[in-house]
Amino acid sequence: MLAGEIHNLRDFGFRYFVAEHADNRDALLVDGKHDLERLGMGHAEKPLKHMHDELHRCVIVIQKQHLVERRSLGLGTRRDNDRGVIIAIVVLVGVELKWMQCHTSKDKSRVDRFNALYIDFWSDMKRGDSQARGPDMPKLQTIGFDADDTLWHNERFFRLTQERFASLLAPHTDEGALLVRLQEAEERNLGHYGFGIKGFVLSMIETAIEVTGGRVPGRVIGELLEAGQDMLQHPIDLLPHAEEAVREVADAFHVVLITKGDLLDQERKLAQSGLGDMFDAVEIVSDKTSAIYTRIFDSHGSGPDRAAMVGNSMRSDVLPVIAAGGWGIHVPQDLTWAYEVLDAPGNTPRLKEIPDLSALPSLLREIARA
């Protein structure tokens, strides 16, 4: 159906963030029979007022805002394929209008003949979409981007807050032992709080209670909460080449932002980054696993084997994608949370590493040509 489940309706001035399949021009083949609203007639500049109005009396308006998914009807994989999609829409609407005209007729044989043609039409269209997924498809279709410490700085703000935390607790324990206990608390609490600043702050408070034997002053708790609020309000600072790389990749591939962490904080950072309008889809997930990557690349492409993920974390951005059958492109950073650090496995053809994002477009072209 065209109108899907709305997950988050927020307008940050970028295109495809808010919904799954809401008024998706390319979802026309999915159970759109007998319903003019689901055939895009809700976008008509001049709505049809009567059942037998001719098609030329309305203008089909293709809206590009708010799409999560833009896969075309087997007409190509490039993002500027509007002409073919518009032709498909006109054909489909014409068929639906003829169906309605026919079914108001008293001539039963005419109805039966059209029913048979109607079924053949939909079968052909769907079969054509399946054939478009065959071996002639491009080797790469969808590129996923991590956000934190791939497109913008993030870990350095955690490190600054850790220094403040160590200073506050200095009368009770040394910094090295304190940070070890904080790391243990963070990892222990991932299943409760998830990834992000809120879980980090709660873990600091828990650690402070532990190292002081429950005697941590209220002033210290207050300063830790204030530190967390400062992190949630910190302006976004893009990493070098982030904007240029995303823009160039988006001209050739379907691009999806795949990030984990606090929902509101990730939305805020994406809105402030100025990059949101370049993405065809945004996925904010609780964790990054092979199963989650498979779901995302099935939804926003033709599966993980025709997708690549770009990120700084070997643990979250690279290895799970490779395990799912995709390409993992590692972009290491000077600062990476210890939890995300893993050694690169040997003899892994689909693992690539680049020094920074300026090398990404040429690497993707190389993979696509191979």
Q: Smallest Cα–Cα separation from 324: which of 299, 285, 364, 291?
A: 291
- What is the reported pLDDT for 101? 55
Asked whether the domain spanning 155-232 has the same topology as the one spanning 142-152+238-369, the reply is no
Specify which residues 152 forms β-bridges with: 148, 238
- Tell me how far apart the alpha carbons of residues 143 and 165 are, in angstroms, rounded to a whole number: 38
Give the Cα separation of 72 and 60 in Å (integer).
17
In angstroms and rounded to an integer, the radius of gyration of the C-alpha atoms of the chain is: 25
Model pLDDT, residue 146: 98
What is the predicted pLDDT for the residue at 117?
53
In the prediction, which pLDDT does 347 show?
A: 87
What was the pLDDT predicted at 135? 53
CA–chain centroid gap for 283, Å, is 3
What is the bridge-based pairing of β-strands 142-145 and 327-330?
A: unpaired
The whole-number pLDDT of residue 344 equals 87
CB burial of residue 170 (10 Å; 0-12, 13-18, 19+): exposed
Angle, helices 175-193 vs 155-169, to 10°: value is 120
**59 token code pair:** 């203008």
Ordered per-residue pLDDT tens for the chain, 370 residues: 433 333 443 344 444 443 344 344 344 333 333 343 333 433 433 333 333 333 332 332 222 333 333 333 333 444 444 545 454 554 455 545 554 555 555 555 555 555 555 455 444 444 444 444 455 567 899 999 999 999 999 999 999 999 999 999 999 999 999 999 999 999 999 999 999 999 999 999 999 999 999 999 999 999 999 999 999 999 999 999 999 999 999 999 999 999 999 999 999 999 999 999 999 999 999 999 999 999 999 999 999 999 999 999 999 999 999 999 999 999 999 989 999 999 989 889 999 999 999 999 999 999 998 8
**Out of 3.40.50.300, 2.70.98.20, 3.40.50.1000, 3.40.50.720, which CATH number does the structure's domain 142-152+238-369 have?**
3.40.50.1000
Q: In the CATH scheme, what is the homologous superfamily, with its name and number, of domain 155-232? A: Putative phosphatase; domain 2 (1.10.150.240)
What are the boundaries of each domain within the chain?
25-131, 142-152+238-369, 155-232
Q: What is the pTM of this model?
A: 0.66
Residue whose pair of structure tokens reads 């309605």 in the numeric block: 100
Please write down the HEC assignment for all residues of the chain: CCCCCECCCCCCCCCCCCECCCCCHHHCCCCCCCCCHHHCHHHECCCCCCCCCCHHHCCECCCCCCCCCCCCCCCCCCCCCHHHHHHHHHHHHHHHHHHHHHHCCCCHHHHHHHHHHHHHHHHHHHHHHHHCCCCCCCCCCEEEECCECCCECCHHHHHHHHHHHHHHHCCCCCHHHHHHHHHHHHHHHHHHHCCCHHHHHHHHHHHHHHHCCCCCCHHHHHHHHHHHHHHHCCCCCECCCHHHHHHHHHCCCEEEEEEECCHHHHHHHHHHHCCHHHCCEEEEECCCCHHHHHHHHHHCCCCHHHEEEEECCHHHHHHHHHHHCCEEEECCCCCCCHHHCCCCCCCCCCEEECCCHHHHHHHHHHHHHC
Which residues, in sequence order, are CB contacts of 12 under 8 Å at separation 6+? 267, 270, 271, 276
